[in-house]
Structure 1
Amino acid sequence: MSAVRGTSLSPRAVARGAANSSALGVAARCGLAARGVLYVLIGLIALRIAFGEGGGQADRGGALAELSTQPMGSVLLWAVGLGLVGMALWRLSEAVFGAAGAGGRKPGKRLMSAARCVFYAFVAYSVLAFAAGESGSGSGSGDRQSKDVTARALELPGGQWIVGLVGAGIVVAGVWMAGRAALRKYRKHLELATMSRWERRFTDVTGVGGGVARGAVFAAVGVFVTRAALTYEPDEAKGLDDALRSFAETPAGPGLLVLVAAGMALFGLFSFASARWRRV
């Protein structure tokens, strides 16, 4: 009887076990797969733009509009939205109980997981609202929304400083994302021992190429937000679609947009690989 008492679990341990349950693991993997769907579609739309074939908006709204035109589009939209709910719940569990792996309970990592939880909860809401047919939800222009939010922020006391700091923060985040991808930091989250050589190679190609492209796009968005603060012009701010299109306006021309767009699609494939092999 004493042995049984000695192995009894505390309420915190029980809660932690629940957080690590197979159900939450499935939710996390569904969330990663849902993220992959969005990034693949954004990348494909951006590729069509680069090759002069139109293609709509290369952002979340454009991806949802594209998904809705597919066979069983409504079902797919609901599946992506619910998958992103799973992603938000997974990040919430990391914020509360700590992430898997060494150092997962550090305050900095918990805070980052909390921020990701809020972000994915917002994205999940917008996707589910669009799936439910709510007008103006999910498929709205990200570029217009960026300009509107920037305009309201600039009207606040110290608005230029607020917008400038946010822009600089996005630039730093983009560089950080690209740097971690280039250094293959994602590997520490993967079950490498269970992967074949081809699977590891596939994950490295998609993880490095996709992560660097994603970081570059985030950094570009941050540059435009910072420019809006410096010039006090909200229209200088750009969302994902305009930021992607801006790569074609560089001296490298549309070829650079092709590379970045392909990278965004690669990040979607990397998300699928993470859904399969990431430790959650």
Structure 2
Amino acid sequence: MPNNQQPSWIDYVARYGYAAKTVVYLSLGILTMLAAMRYSSTENLSHKDIFNEILQQPFGHVLLAPVSLGLFSYALWRLIQAIKNTEHLDNSKVKDVLMRVFFVFSALTYSSAGWLAARVLVGNEEQSSSKGNSETLAQHLMGYTLGVWLVGIVGLMILVFAFVQFKHAYTGDFMEKFEQQRMSSSVLSACLWAGRTGYTARGILYVFIGAFFMQAAYQYDPDEAGGLKEAMGEILNQPFGQWLLAIMACGLMLFSLFCAFESCYRQTEAKS
């Protein structure tokens, strides 16, 4: 954004959303580190656990309320990206059309997270189901004709998304979305390495989650589908699992730093 241009409401919506992501990923990174150090369990690594952890902090209600609103704000920003085409995607290219579809899917995902945070805030989160969101989704899809194929397609899409994370980590192309003229050389360097490390950590997590869905489709068993806590548990069960999970925790905390940079320096308006 040019220095003489006042920020629009879209700018505030986007930056507020990225700030909320900063808090969520920092909390996830801390909980993951506690699990790696055996002070906690990977069973406590779900979105509900993250929001409960925030709530238990001093002035937790004061913190969780804006986090919930921030997640809704980020969902709105994703819809704006899809509708206004703030990224200047080419509608004649399949991959760009799919990216706009992904923005809508991301908006739905973060709206759900914001709603869950709001329920935790008022003490109305669901306690009855022992199944996670991934198992519930897989079970729902398998209720349809050709549902096993739908579960497999979801798994494949998650794997593709995982490798997109690795692509970002390798190329550093995410830096093109920043207002780099406003960033010092040290901030640019920190942003690049936080982003590369964070995207790598996210890619690893999504590889596990995508593989869980593929396994659920192959075995026709929705209980084989897994989400965040199952992926973390699988990492912990590997040789040197505690060290691997600790590294993953560091990667997630660095991604929270990257989200903080996005809150400050991310381009939010379509450029002409």
TM-score (norm 2): 0.87
Q: What is the number of equivalent residue pairs in this alignment?
A: 258
Q: Which residue of 2 aligns with 1:4?
A: none
Q: How does 1:44-63 map to 2 (within 5 A)?
A: 44-54=30-40, 57-63=44-50
Shift of 1:104: 7.1
Equivalent of 1:118 in 108, 118, 123: 108
How far apart, CA to CA, are the structure 2 residues paired with 1:140 and 1:43? 25
TM-superposed CA distance for 1:130, in Å, is 2.1
**Superposed displacement of residue 59, structure 1:** 2.5
In structure 2, the partner of 1:216 is: 204
Note if contact 1:182-1:211 (Cα within 8 Å) is conserved in structure 2: no
Aligned AA (2:108):
V
Q: CA RMSD in A?
A: 2.2
- Structure 1 residue corresponding to 2:117, chosen from 127, 143, 148: 127
Residue 167 (structure 1) shift = 0.9
**CA–CA distance in structure 2, aligned partners of residues 171 and 112 of structure 1:** 14
Q: 2: CA distance between counterparts of 1:103 and 1:176?
A: 16
> 2:132: which partner in 1?
144
* Paired amino acid for 2:20: A
- In structure 2, the partner of 1:258 is 246
CA drift of 1:224 comes to: 0.9
Match of 1:42 in 2: 28
Aligned match for 1:81, one of 64, 68, 76: 68
Is the CA contact 2:18–2:263 (under 8 Å) kept in the aligned structure 1? yes
SS of the residue 2:132 aligns to: helix
Note the C-alpha offset of 1:183. Answer: 1.1
Q: Distance in 2 between matches of 1:254 and 1:247?
A: 8
| Higher mean C-alpha displacement, 232-241 vs 203-212 | 232-241
| 1:236/1:103 CA distance change after superposition, 3 Å | closer
Structure 2 gap ranges (5+): 1-5
Q: Offset at 1:70?
A: 0.8
Distance in 1 of aligned mates of 2:40 and 2:240 = 20
Deviation at 1:72, TM superposition (A): 1.2
Q: How big is each residue's C-alpha offset from its partner over 1:62-121, in whole Å with a ceiling of 9 and x where there is no partner?
A: 110100101111121110011112112222222221114x43776444333222222222
Q: Which residue of 166, 181, 184 maps to 2:172?
A: 184
- The answer to whether the aligner puts 1:249 opposite 2:237 as a matched pair is yes
Q: Distance in 2 between matches of 1:163 and 1:188?
A: 34
Q: Which amino acid aligns with 2:107?
A: C
Match of 1:70 in 2: 57
Which residue type is aligned with residue 136 of structure 1? E
Letter in structure 1 aligned against 2:110: Y
Q: In the alignment, which residue of structure 2 is the partner of 1:103? A: 89
Shift of 1:227: 0.7
Q: Distance in 1 between matches of 2:90 and 2:11?
A: 16
Q: Percent of counterpart pairs with the same letter?
A: 28
Distance 1:117 1:251 in 2: 37
Deviation per residue, 1:4-58 (Å, 9 max, x gap): xxxxxxxxxxxxxxxx962221111110010111111111111111111115612
Q: Provide the C-alpha distance between the structure 1 equivalents of 2:221 and 2:103, rounded to a whole number of angstroms.
A: 33
Contact 1:31-1:83 at 8 Å conserved across structures? yes
1:229 corresponds to which of 217, 220, 227: 217
Equivalences for residues 150-165 of structure 1 within 5 A: 150-165=138-153
Any conservation in 2 of the 1:61–1:140 contact (CA below 8 Å)? no
State the match for 1:9 in structure 2: none
Decide which structure has the larger Cα Rg and report it. 1
For residue 196 of structure 1, what is the amino acid of its counterpart?
Answer: S
Which residue does the alignment assign to 1:16? none
Deviation at 1:252, TM superposition (A): 4.1
User: Contact 1:217/1:240 (CA < 8 Å) preserved in 2?
Assistant: yes
Q: What is the deviation of 1:131?
A: 1.7
Pick from 209, 226, 232 the counterpart of residue 238 of structure 1.
226
Q: Give the Cα separation in 1 of the matches to 2:167 and 2:46.
A: 23
- The equivalent of 1:169 in structure 2 is 157
